[in-house]
Amino acid sequence: MNTFINNRNALVCKVIRARLIFAAFLGASLVGCASSGSALQYYLLHSTTSSSATEYETAPHGLLINKIILPDYLKQRGLVYQTSSTSLHIATDHLWAEPLDEGITKSLKASLRTQGVMLVTHNVNAKEVNDYLTLQIDDFITTWQGDIILSGQYVVKHIDDSQSARDFEYILPLEVDGFPASIEVMREAIHALAENIASEITKG
């Protein structure tokens, strides 16, 4: 009986926490809409404190990114929040400072660098490229349940013309409310994806 009560209390706490997170996100967005002349807030997905000039300890594995495919709802500049299992809210005053595919590329590049992989965005150094990456994002979003979800598929084409495809899904909990905190967790999700990709292209 005590176990049942404890489980029920834990579930109630989780539901309450999810509702509070939902209220915090929605409230932050709607307050800006209601206030005429309110300042727009801009956000970067990649961290500007990551050192892109750090030298590789050994010759890096070259990876050329062909393209990033985003769903239509992520092509908006407004940050997106999932309000229910069927509904989305796109903020009008909390915006990405650059297109999301650019932010993902920069964040992925910084994380891959720590794995000894050099992400190349232009085919100008083809002789330094070992593999080619196509990344499809299905979802990259904050949910009403208090999580960040990053899911999709990537395809790596090797220089011998063989290729491998991998599905991925990362669900990371939000410990703090608000858009800035959610973006920090989004960076963690990108880093986890980078580790996955690096493991795939350097194995064997």
Q: Across all residues in the chain, what is the average pLDDT? A: 84
Residue with more model confidence, 31 or 177: 177
Range of the domain at 25: 2-202
Q: Strand 88-96 to strand 147-158: parallel, antiparallel, or no bridges (unpaired)?
A: unpaired
Q: Computed from CA positions of residues 161, 162, 165, 166, in that sequence, does the dihedral angle turn out positive or negative?
A: negative
- In the chain, the number of structural domains is 1
Residue 1 has what pLDDT?
55
> pLDDT tens, 147-196?
999 999 999 999 888 999 999 999 999 999 899 999 999 999 999 999 99
pLDDT at 36 > cutoff 80: no
Residue 43 has what pLDDT?
98
Q: 51-57: long-range contacts (C-beta < 8 A, 24 or more apart)?
A: 52/109, 52/110, 52/113, 54/113, 56/113, 56/116, 56/118, 57/116
pLDDT at 12 > cutoff 50: no
| Mean pLDDT for the stretch of residues 128-139 | 94
CATH number reported for the structural domain that contains residue 98 in this entry: 3.40.50.10610
pLDDT at 17 > cutoff 60: no
Asked if 77 and 94 count as a contact pair (C-beta separation under 8 A), the reply is: no
Task: Indicate the residue type of 128.
Answer: E
Buried b / exposed e across 150-171, counting CB within 10 Å, b at 16+?
A: bbbebebbeeeeeeeeeebebe
| Mean pLDDT for the stretch of residues 43-64 | 78
Choose the most confident range, by mean pLDDT, from 13-17, 21-25, 55-59, 63-67: 63-67
User: Comparing C-alpha atoms, which of 191, 30, 48 is closest to residue 114?
Assistant: 191
| Mean pLDDT for the stretch of residues 79-87 | 96
Task: Indicate the residue type of 44.
Answer: L
pLDDT at 9 > cutoff 70: no
Distance (Å, whole) CA 49 – CA 53: 11
Phi-psi category of residue 88: left, alpha or beta, with phi > 0 → left and psi -120 to 50 → alpha: beta
Q: What angle do CA 63, 66, 67 make, to 5 degrees?
A: 125
Helix, strand, coil % in the chain, rounded to nearest 5: 40, 30, 30
**What percent of the chain clears pLDDT 70, i.e. is strictly above it?**
75
| Mean pLDDT for the stretch of residues 47-72 | 81
Residue 160 has what pLDDT?
87
pTM for this one?
A: 0.80
Residue 38 has what pLDDT?
73
